[in-house]
């Protein structure tokens, strides 16, 4: 367990000089804050004792210096720590990304524990909180407390001992108390919040049905009940946060009291010069302010640690054999035949094959329909064909030679897949097309768009600058499919696999879209087409149908 | 308030004790009562801290509960037509995260403003009366805090907005390349994304740091003003102590209180930013609630006959001609008043909406007592012959086929029609996903409902419905 904590922490620590400088600034800031109060108290006490400014010179300089230092070091600390945290993130993000690449798409389901992509993203962002919200405040509080305890101990051991006890109690009692409240908030509040969010989403999404069928009042009641339970949970959590804070404040008072009592007695008996009494009494105020600042560090660490744990798991995950794509020495420009011979596909972590015994032959200019019920493994075959996944068993031959002997990139340029849900990236049409061919000119893009029947629509909007919106919300499912086809045509794949191109289109539009697609592709005599569809009705469009059981 | 009284007590008790023991050479025992005051003050302060934490949440939670209810009532009054024009995710965000961001506004910012307005003048007055010149320093430096806060706020607001945009755009970029990774791999662009990601992250860092240098400047200015004021006060007290103008007790007392005079103002500043989100969210929520108050008039629906009971109408026309809009206008789903009320109609929308629950629950409603004879009849008439009533349907119907989903929704409308004796049965594309045999059963049921005295209206482009309807209404044909 400690090992895993150590590894989690290693993940989020920036390894540059900026970070160390930032921590130094943070410690100096704490020092200035405590020293400002200490030296001020000493200055005032000393002034009451003597009658010449000569005795105060250094203290006056110190007070001014620490006042400026407190603000300046704070500023430096924040700048340096943020900068180094961002640098650290800028390194981690690409590393994580390149580790994840082999898992797409065959291994995403296996990434684990209901991992969503947006969570991966926010988990990475969370890494910055280790240096900023955990290490810096804790280090500041601990180092300054220690330094103060040592100073006080040198003045008067008994008060030093009691201050040490109070600080320890603060760290061991009050801070864990607030950690408890953050744990409660994880176990009590987060599920209720998620439930509330689900309910409210459900209510908005299905509002028409709930209203039409008179079920709305019941749904509203459900929502309100959850809201009331959430309120109870929140108030319970806050009570323990409050207790933690109150305890810290009380400990500060007790430390002051002990300083006053024992310091006073020492002054009385002449063991301590009176001028130090104010320092002993007032110092705890400044120290406990720093400890209070460090209090959120525990809950911040909890959040950090679950995020970094997940990130680490992703980083350390082994690439399963089925996703390890090997590359060979041969390059392929043209193909005479592509054969799958008794191919089976098994997803990583699965016990059984998604599909097995697949035989098919692809030849230039031939159109093939791969059909079968949903779940029969058609898309898995497409993943193998497009080299996004390895077959579990069987032979995959290009021009009679095993595919592993060919350079991966040249195969990738030969065979292309138009996914069932093609990604439409945020941005304009141009950016979405250039993915397929970064050096394509605007006229080339316009020509390809006209070919797939999209140019008129985009021309009436803003041409190639037309924004497609988040996940392509600004275009229809059929238009997205045509755009994906345009991308594939730009890349000029010799083998084009179309995975259920009409899946996201109204039933009434599907036939037209499919006929259009085949119309568009009719001109290319040499290109081979593999159409994947659960509907047998498209067999009239192809040369051969292969039906998966 | 109790908290600041406690702070003053602590400051006074500590100063008094120190000066008695140090300067007046009193014995600790003789002034130990002042330590009693110190303990009392400390206890009271701890108590207020705890109370504050507890009370603040209570108050906000009540406000949130009420606002959430009002928000959803408003959304319901505005209706599905209005929701359709918005993004569901955005509305949900407003109702959940948006409302939560009110916490910092109601629980922290507002109380802090009130507290500051009351406490800061009190502190200044107390210091003023204890030591005139320290009071003067405070009076001169305190106004600098809000002035600087406002000035810096102005200077950084637009930059901060840009920073926020940059941050979300970086996360969004990362999410976007992950989401589209398969597509990128197909076009052999995954490797180049590693470089792009590094570059974008680095650009983001440079931009963000530029902004942060400015933003943190405001914190720097505030911190500097308050600590310099304390230093100024400490030194001036020291110098006047030398000449014996004031006593040590007063000097220490003022020194201890001075930072506390700044504290509330600085906290207002700190919480101002956090509460800005809350203000934005509350505006969004209040806009929705206000928007729901608008009066509506019934939409003019041309070329529509009065739907007579006992008749079967088919509405047909090319897609995009506004067939569904007819139902939407009839039921008042848009921003117009309804012609038919929900009470007298059973409506099957075009989109098949299913919830997590059993098939039966999807038909009669979750937790609603039902009439099993009528349920059986509805199921039979909807040709729902291939699903057990207790089969679990996933959220959004993920575990049933499109045809099954459509028939469950038809059964839902049929059951309502039978059970609530609604006069109108409105169906939007009820057989678009059905095989011929089941479509035939369903259409037969529709004629049966008409014969039983309902007005049945079905939107469809399929001959199976058009051929048997008593009257066919064509939309969008000139």
pLDDT in tens, B251-269: 999 988 888 888 888 777 7
pLDDT in tens, A89-100: 889 989 999 888
pLDDT of the residue at A1: 60
Q: Which of A27-41, B163-177, B222-236 bottoms out in mean pLDDT, i.e. has the lowest? A: B163-177
Nearest CA to B174 among A107, A424, A125? Answer: A125
Residue B433: list chain A partners with CB under 8 A.
507
**Quick check: A86 and B219 CB within 8 A?**
no
**Quick check: B433 and A47 CB within 8 A?**
no
Distance from CA of B60 to the nearest CA of A (A): 9
Nearest CA to B111 among B30, B68, B53? Answer: B53
pLDDT of the residue at B275: 67
Confidence of residue B219 (pLDDT cuts 50, 70, 90): confident
Is residue B323 classed exposed, middle or buried when 0-12, 13-18 and 19+ CB atoms within 10 A define those classes?
Answer: buried
Q: Which residue in B has a C-alpha nearest to residue A281's C-alpha?
A: B14
Residue B288: list chain A partners with CB under 8 A.
none
Percentage with pLDDT > 70 across chain A: 96
pLDDT of the residue at B217: 82
**Average pLDDT over every residue of A364-382:** 84
Residue A36: list chain B partners with CB under 8 A.
227, 230-231
Which residues does residue A416 pair with via DSSP β-bridges, in sequence order? A496
**Average pLDDT over every residue of B213-239:** 86
Report whether pLDDT(A374) > 70: no
Which residues does residue B346 pair with via DSSP β-bridges, in sequence order? B425
Give whole-number Cα distances, A547 to A93, A147, A358, A364, A382, in Å. Answer: 43, 78, 10, 21, 14
Percentage with pLDDT > 90 across chain A: 38
Report whether pLDDT(A171) > 50: yes
**Quick check: B57 and A238 CB within 8 A?**
yes
pLDDT in tens, A401-443: 999 999 988 999 999 999 888 888 888 899 999 999 999 999 9
For the whole model, what pTM was predicted? 0.78
Distance from CA of B24 to the nearest CA of A (A): 11
Mean pLDDT rounded to a whole number for chain B: 83
pLDDT in tens, B352-369: 888 888 899 999 988 888
pLDDT of the residue at A114: 42
**Average pLDDT over every residue of B53-74:** 84
Cβ pairs A/B, distance under 8 A:
353
Which one of A287-291, A454-458, B96-100 scores highest in mean pLDDT? A287-291
Which one of A109-123, A227-241, A481-495, B200-214 scores highest in mean pLDDT? A481-495
**Quick check: B54 and A242 CB within 8 A?**
yes
Residue B349: list chain A partners with CB under 8 A.
208-209, 212
Q: Which of B10-14, B44-48, B473-477 bottoms out in mean pLDDT, i.e. has the lowest? A: B473-477
- Phi (first) and psi of residue A497, to 5 degrees: -105, 125
> Rounded to whole angstroms, how far apart are CA atoms A297 and A100?
30
**Average pLDDT over every residue of B16-39:** 89
3-state DSSP helix/strand/coil % of chain A, to nearest 5: 70, 10, 25
Distance from CA of B132 to the nearest CA of A (A): 17
B36 touching chain A per CB within 8 A: no
**Quick check: A83 and B205 CB within 8 A?**
yes
> Rounded to whole angstroms, how far apart are CA atoms B417 and B424?
8
**Average pLDDT over every residue of A467-485:** 79
Which one of A411-425, B278-292, B335-349 scores highest in mean pLDDT? A411-425
B255 touching chain A per CB within 8 A: yes
Report whether pLDDT(B351) > 60: yes
Q: Beta-strand (E) ranges in B362-405?
A: 392-393
Residue A201: list chain B partners with CB under 8 A.
88-89, 92
- Which residues in A188-213 are b (16+ Cβ under 10 Å) and which e? bbeebbeebbebbbbbbbbbbbbbbb
Percentage with pLDDT > 90 across chain B: 16
**Average pLDDT over every residue of A269-286:** 90
Report whether pLDDT(B303) > 80: no
Q: Which residue in A has a C-alpha nearest to residue B191's C-alpha?
A: A98
Q: How far is CA B85 from the centre of its chain?
A: 18
pLDDT of the residue at B3: 81
Q: Report the 10 Å Cβ neighbour count for B176.
A: 19
Which one of A46-50, A159-163, A197-201, A515-519 scores highest in mean pLDDT? A159-163
B220 touching chain A per CB within 8 A: yes
Chain B residues 171-210 within an 8 A CB cutoff of chain A: 171-172, 174-191, 193-195, 197-198, 201-202, 204-205, 208-209
Residue A234: list chain B partners with CB under 8 A.
57, 61
pLDDT in tens, A509-536: 677 788 888 888 887 778 899 999 877 7
B298 touching chain A per CB within 8 A: no
| Helix or strand (DSSP H, E) at A458 | helix A455-460
Q: Are A304 and A127 in contact (CB under 8 A)?
A: yes
pLDDT in tens, B118-131: 888 888 888 888 88
pLDDT of the residue at B298: 63
Give whole-number Cα distances, A165 to A33, A498, B246, in Å. Answer: 22, 72, 36
Q: Which of A136-150, A266-280, B309-323 bottoms out in mean pLDDT, i.e. has the lowest? A: B309-323
pLDDT in tens, A332-347: 888 889 999 999 998 8
pLDDT in tens, B376-420: 999 999 998 888 888 887 766 666 777 788 899 999 999 999 988
**Quick check: B68 and A227 CB within 8 A?**
yes
- Which residues in A421-460 are b (16+ Cβ under 10 Å) and which e? bbbbbbebbbebbbbbbeebeeeebbebbebbbbbeebee
A44, A52, A384, best to mutate vs chain B, most B CBs in 10 Å? A44
pLDDT of the residue at A113: 40
Q: Which residue in A has a C-alpha nearest to residue B248's C-alpha?
A: A48
**Average pLDDT over every residue of B167-184:** 80
Sign for the pseudo-dihedral over CA of B448, B450, B453, B455: positive
pLDDT of the residue at A317: 84
Which of B1 and A389 is assigned the larger pLDDT? A389
Confidence of residue A260 (pLDDT cuts 50, 70, 90): very high
Report whether pLDDT(B478) > 50: no
Select from B54, B100, B177 the Cβ nearest to the Cβ of A97. B177
> Rounded to whole angstroms, how far apart are CA atoms A547 and A378?
9
**Quick check: B365 and A218 CB within 8 A?**
yes
pLDDT of the residue at B99: 80
Confidence of residue A320 (pLDDT cuts 50, 70, 90): confident
Beta-carbon contacts of residue A140 (< 8 Å; ≥ 6 apart): A26, A27, A29, A30, A290, A293, A294
Q: Report the 10 Å Cβ neighbour count for B359.
A: 21
> Rounded to whole angstroms, how far apart are CA atoms B322 and B256?
74
Give whole-number Cα distances, A174 to A153, A240, A245, A281, B47, in Å. Answer: 23, 10, 7, 21, 15
> Rounded to whole angstroms, how far apart are CA atoms A235 and A227?
12
pLDDT of the residue at B82: 81
3-state secondary structure of B23: coil
Confidence of residue B200 (pLDDT cuts 50, 70, 90): confident
B2 touching chain A per CB within 8 A: no
**Average pLDDT over every residue of B41-64:** 85
> Rounded to whole angstroms, how far apart are CA atoms A56 and A51?
10
Report whether pLDDT(B159) > 70: no
**Read out DSSP for A24-62?**
HHHHHHHHHHHHHHHHHHHHHHHHHH-S-GGGGHHHHHH
Which residues does residue B428 pair with via DSSP β-bridges, in sequence order? B459
Distance from CA of B239 to the nearest CA of A (A): 7
Radius of gyration over alpha carbons of chain A, in Å? 34
Which of B90 and A463 is assigned the larger pLDDT? A463
Residue A122: list chain B partners with CB under 8 A.
171
> Rounded to whole angstroms, how far apart are CA atoms B161 and A339?
56
Report whether pLDDT(A314) > 90: no
| Helix or strand (DSSP H, E) at A416 | strand A415-418
**Quick check: A90 and B204 CB within 8 A?**
yes
Widest Cα–Cα separation across chain A: 110
Give whole-number Cα distances, B46 to A69, A244, A258, B208, in Å. Answer: 30, 10, 17, 39
Select from B171, B219, B230 the Cβ nearest to the Cβ of A74. B219
Report whether pLDDT(A115) > 60: no
Chain B residues 82-141 within an 8 A CB cutoff of chain A: 83, 88-89, 91-92, 95-96, 100
Residue B266: list chain A partners with CB under 8 A.
none
Radius of gyration over alpha carbons of chain B, in Å? 35
Quick one: tokens of A255?
């430390």
């Amino acid at each position: 367990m400690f090992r895993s904590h150590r590894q989690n922490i290693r993940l989020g620590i920036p390894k540059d000089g900026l970070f160390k400088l930032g921590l130094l600034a943070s410690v100096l800031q704490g020092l200035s804050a405590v020293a400002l109060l200490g030296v001020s108290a000493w200055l005032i006490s000393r002034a009451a004792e003597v009658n010449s400014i000569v005795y105060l010179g250094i203290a006056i300089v110190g007070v001014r210096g620490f006042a400026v230092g407190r603000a300046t070091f704070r500023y430096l600390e924040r700048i340096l720590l943020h900068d180094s945290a961002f640098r650290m993130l800028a390194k981690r993000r690409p590393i994580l990304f390149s580790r994840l690449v082999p898992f797409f798409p065959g291994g995403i389901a296996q990434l684990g524990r209901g991992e969503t992509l947006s969570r991966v993203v926010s988990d990475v962002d969370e890494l910055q909180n280790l240096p900023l919200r955990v290490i810096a405040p804790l280090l500041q509080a601990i180092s300054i407390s220690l330094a103060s305890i040592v100073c006080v101990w040198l003045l008067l051991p008994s008060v030093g001992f009691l201050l040490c006890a109070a600080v320890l109690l603060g760290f061991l009692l009050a801070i864990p108390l607030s950690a408890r409240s953050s744990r409660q908030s994880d176990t009590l509040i987060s599920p209720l919040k998620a439930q509330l969010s689900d309910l409210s989403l459900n209510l908005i999404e299905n509002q028409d049905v709930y209203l039409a069928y008179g079920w709305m009042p019941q749904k509203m009641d459900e929502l309100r009940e959850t809201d009331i339970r959430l309120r109870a949970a929140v108030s319970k959590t806050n009570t323990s946060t409050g207790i933690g804070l109150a305890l810290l404040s009380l400990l500060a008072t007790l430390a002051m009291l002990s300083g006053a009592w024992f310091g006073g007695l020492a002054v009385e008996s002449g063991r301590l010069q009176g001028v130090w009494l104010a320092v002993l009494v007032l110092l705890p105020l400044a120290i406990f302010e720093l400890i209070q600042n460090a209090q959120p560090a525990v809950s911040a660490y909890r959040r950090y640690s679950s995020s970094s744990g997940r990130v680490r798991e992703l980083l350390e995950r082994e690439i399963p054999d089925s996703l390890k794509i090997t590359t060979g020495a041969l390059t392929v420009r043209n193909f005479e035949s592509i054969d799958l011979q008794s191919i089976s596909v098994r997803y990583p972590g699965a016990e059984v094959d998604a599909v097995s015994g697949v035989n098919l032959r692809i030849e230039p200019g031939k159109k093939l329909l791969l059909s079968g019920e949903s779940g029969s493994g058609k898309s898995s075959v497409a993943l193998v064909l497009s080299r996004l996944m390895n077959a579990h068993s069987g032979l995959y031959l290009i021009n009679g030679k095993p595919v592993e002997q060919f350079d991966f990139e040249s195969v990738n340029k030969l065979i292309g897949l138009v996914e069932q849900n093609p990604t439409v990236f945020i941005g304009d049409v141009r950016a979405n097309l250039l993915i397929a061919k970064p050096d394509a000119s605007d006229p080339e893009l316009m020509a390809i768009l006209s070919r797939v029947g999209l140019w008129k629509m985009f021309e009436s909007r803003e041409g190639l600058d037309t924004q497609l919106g988040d996940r392509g919300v600004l275009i229809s499912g059929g238009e997205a499919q045509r755009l994906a086809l345009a991308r594939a045509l730009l890349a000029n794949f010799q083998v084009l696999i179309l995975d259920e191109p009409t899946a996201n289109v109204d039933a009434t539009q599907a036939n037209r879209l499919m006929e259009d697609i085949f119309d568009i592709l009719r001109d290319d005599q040499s290109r081979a087409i593999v159409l994947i569809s659960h509907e047998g009705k498209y067999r009239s469009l192809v040369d051969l149908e292969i039906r998966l059981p | 308030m109790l908290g600041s009284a406690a702070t003053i007590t602590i400051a006074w008790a500590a100063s008094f004790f120190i000066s008695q023991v140090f300067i007046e050479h009193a014995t600790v025992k003789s002034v130990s009562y002042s330590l009693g005051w110190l303990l009392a003050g400390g206890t009271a302060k701890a108590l207020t801290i705890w109370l504050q934490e507890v009370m603040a949440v209570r108050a906000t939670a009540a406000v949130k509960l009420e606002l959430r209810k009002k928000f959803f009532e408003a959304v319901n009054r505005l209706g599905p037509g209005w929701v359709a024009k918005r993004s569901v995710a955005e509305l949900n965000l407003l109702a959940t995260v948006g409302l939560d961001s009110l916490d910092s506004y109601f629980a922290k910012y507002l109380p802090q403003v009130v507290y500051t307005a009351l406490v800061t003048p009190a502190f200044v007055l107390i210091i003023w009366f204890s030591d005139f010149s320290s009071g003067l320093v405070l009076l001169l430096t305190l106004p600098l805090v809000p002035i600087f806060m406002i000035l810096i706020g102005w200077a950084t607001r637009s930059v901060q907005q840009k920073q926020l945009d940059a941050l979300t755009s970086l996360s969004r970029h990362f999410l976007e390349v992950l989401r589209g990774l398969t597509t990128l791999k197909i076009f052999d662009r995954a490797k180049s994304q590693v470089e792009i990601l590094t570059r974008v992250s680095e650009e983001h860092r440079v931009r963000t740091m530029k902004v942060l240098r400015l933003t943190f400047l405001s914190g720097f200015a505030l911190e500097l003003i308050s600590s310099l004021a304390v230093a100024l006060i400490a030194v001036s007290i020291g110098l006047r102590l030398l000449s014996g103008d004031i006593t040590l007790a007063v000097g220490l007392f003022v020194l201890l209180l001075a930072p506390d005079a700044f504290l509330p103002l600085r906290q207002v500043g700190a919480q101002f930013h956090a509460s800005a989100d809350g203000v934005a969210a509350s505006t969004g929520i209040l806009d929705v609630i206000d928007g729901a108050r608008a009066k509506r008039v019934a939409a003019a629906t041309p070329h529509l006959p009065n739907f007579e009971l006992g008749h079967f109408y088919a509405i047909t026309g090319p897609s995009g001609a506004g067939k569904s809009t007819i139902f939407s206008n009839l039921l008042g789903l848009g921003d117009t008043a309804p012609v038919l009320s929900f009470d007298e109609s059973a409506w099957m929308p075009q989109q098949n909406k299913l919830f997590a629950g059993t098939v039966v629950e999807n038909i009669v409603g979750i937790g609603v007592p039902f009439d099993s004879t009528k349920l059986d009849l509805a199921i039979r008439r909807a040709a729902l012959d291939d699903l057990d009533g207790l089969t679990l349907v996933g959220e959004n119907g993920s575990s049933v086929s499109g045809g099954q989903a459509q028939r469950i929704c038809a059964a839902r409308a049929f059951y309502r029609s039978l059970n609530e004796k609604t006069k109108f049965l409105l169906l939007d594309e009820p057989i678009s996903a059905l095989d011929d045999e089941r479509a035939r059963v369903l259409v037969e049921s529709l004629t049966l409902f008409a014969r039983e005295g309902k007005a049945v209206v079905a939107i469809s482009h399929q001959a199976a419905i058009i051929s048997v309807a008593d009257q066919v209404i064509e939309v969008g044909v000139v």
